[in-house]
Amino acid sequence: MLIWDGQCGFCKYWVIWLKQLTGKSVLYTPYQQIHQAIEEIPKNAFKKAVRLIDTNGKIYSGAGAAYKILEKTSTWSFLISWYKNNFLIRDFSDFFYRFVSNHRSALLTITKLLFGKNPTRLQHFWIIYLVLFLFAIILIVKLLPS
């Protein structure tokens, strides 16, 4: 079961996307509905990071929880072993997760610009932005005096 912040728009966006990927293999529940029943995890901890309680009772948090969920997919299942076995990937992922967690409102806006408003049908607008950015760089370089 993935326990997430049900009042967070960024979280909701990506939970909808994850549900589509994982189907019924993962139960998704906002912490606001369940935190009283889980004594092992303080309510404030749920506000900082998602928690995944695996079928064996093991609890994963933050980036580790996200990678563990992706293990249920065929495309992204390799990421959990990278996270577990490579300290650089683990440290970067944990740092990046904390950054995202602290900037969720702004990142929801950026997410919608990069992927569209509908998480069930991600659009890859970021490719267009990247091409435009590269085109602008080339144009600027060509216009600079030699």
What are the tens digits of pLDDT across the range 75-125?
Answer: 999 999 999 999 999 999 999 999 999 999 999 999 999 899 999 998 888
Domain region containing 13: 2-104
Per-residue HEC secondary structure of the chain comes to: CEEECCCCHHHHHHHHHHHHHHHHHCCEEEHHHHHHHCCCCCHHHHHHCCEEECCCCCEEEHHHHHHHHHCCCCCCCCHHHHHHHCHHHHHHHHHHHHHHHHCHHHHHHHHHHHHCCCCCCCCCHHHHHHHHHHHHHHHHHHHCCC
pLDDT at 95: 97
Q: Residue 2 half-sphere exposure, CB side, CA atoms within 13 Å? A: 29
Whether residue 18 is contained in a domain is answered as yes
CA distance 22 to 65: 14
Backbone Cα Rg of the chain = 18
As a whole number, the mean pLDDT across the chain is 93
Phi, psi dihedrals of residue 41, rounded to the nearest 5°: -120, 120
pLDDT value of position 132? 86
Pairing status of strand 28-30 against strand 2-4: parallel
Q: Is residue 127 part of a domain?
A: no
Query: pTM of the entire structure?
Result: 0.83
What is the pLDDT at residue 146? Answer: 67
What percent of the chain clears pLDDT 90, i.e. is strictly above it?
77
- Whether 134 is covered by a domain: the verdict is no
Direct distance between the N- and C-terminal alpha carbons of the chain, in angstroms, rounded to an integer: 60
Q: How many domains does the chain have?
A: 1
Judged against a pLDDT cut of 80, whether residue 145 lies above it is answered with no
Residue 49 counted as domain residue: yes
Bigger pLDDT: 47 or 97?
97
72 found inside a domain: yes
- Identify the band that residue 130 occupies on the pLDDT scale cut at 50, 70 and 90: confident
